[in-house]
Amino acid sequence: LQIELTLVNMTNHISKNAPAMHMESFYKKFSTVSNQKFDGLLITGAPIEHLEFEEVNYWNELKEIFSWTQTNVHSTMAVCWGAMAMMNFFHQLPKYPLKKKAFGCFEHFNLSPDHKFLRGFADRVTIPVSRWSEIRESDLKQKKDLEILLSSTDLGPCLIDDKYHNAVYMINHLEYDTLTLKNEYFRDKSL
């Protein structure tokens, strides 16, 4: 497949974790791509779970992006805080703070092995987790458009399909590589 990747960041947000030159060289502001159409969009998380959604300085633009996905993006995947934010926007689902950080690798169960996103997945899969908040299964089950695909006995829902909004939400971190949790542990310890 030929893939053309466009990296996008918030129009007025200044990243604290990446040099300005890097952001200017590789990323486009959302305002410059908002008239384009995309096959897919990945909305990443951010270590801002302690903030209410409305306290995030780019919340209004992010809500605009969420709306924009319905007309300009074929399929969207949102990860971690981005997933919680998108579910809050489309379904008014709250995020709940955890008493301590959910951190480590945890067993998750494949609840829908015939689903298009999980064909070929094992019945049980170990997934890295690193978050200070959660979305609760009891809230998700009240939303008929949402289907929990992966869940952990210890930590609850992980992968949620939103058929109506053509989106999938990953609360945990399948994308983490071997050293990501280790690096986050040392980052958190230094704070």
How many other C-beta atoms lie within 10 A of the C-beta of residue 16?
7
Number of Cβ within 10 Å of residue 144's Cβ equals: 8
Question: Distance between CA 7 and CA 23 in Å, rounded?
Answer: 9
Catalytic residue of the set 24, 107, 137, 175: 175
> Which of 80, 91, 108, 158 does the annotation list as catalytic?
80
Q: Could you count the other beta carbons within 10 Å of the beta carbon of residue 104?
A: 13
Helices 81-91, 59-72: crossing angle, 10 deg rounding:
70
Look at the block and give the residue holding tokens 């939103």. 162
Mention every residue, 6+ apart, whose C-beta is less than 8 A from residue 183: none
Q: How far apart are CA 156 and CA 161, in angstroms?
A: 15
Rg over alpha carbons for the chain, rounded to the nearest Å, is 17
The two beta strands, 167-170 and 156-162, are antiparallel
CA 189 – CA 51 distance, rounded (Å): 20
173: annotated active-site residue? yes
Which residues does the annotation mark as catalytic?
80, 173, 175
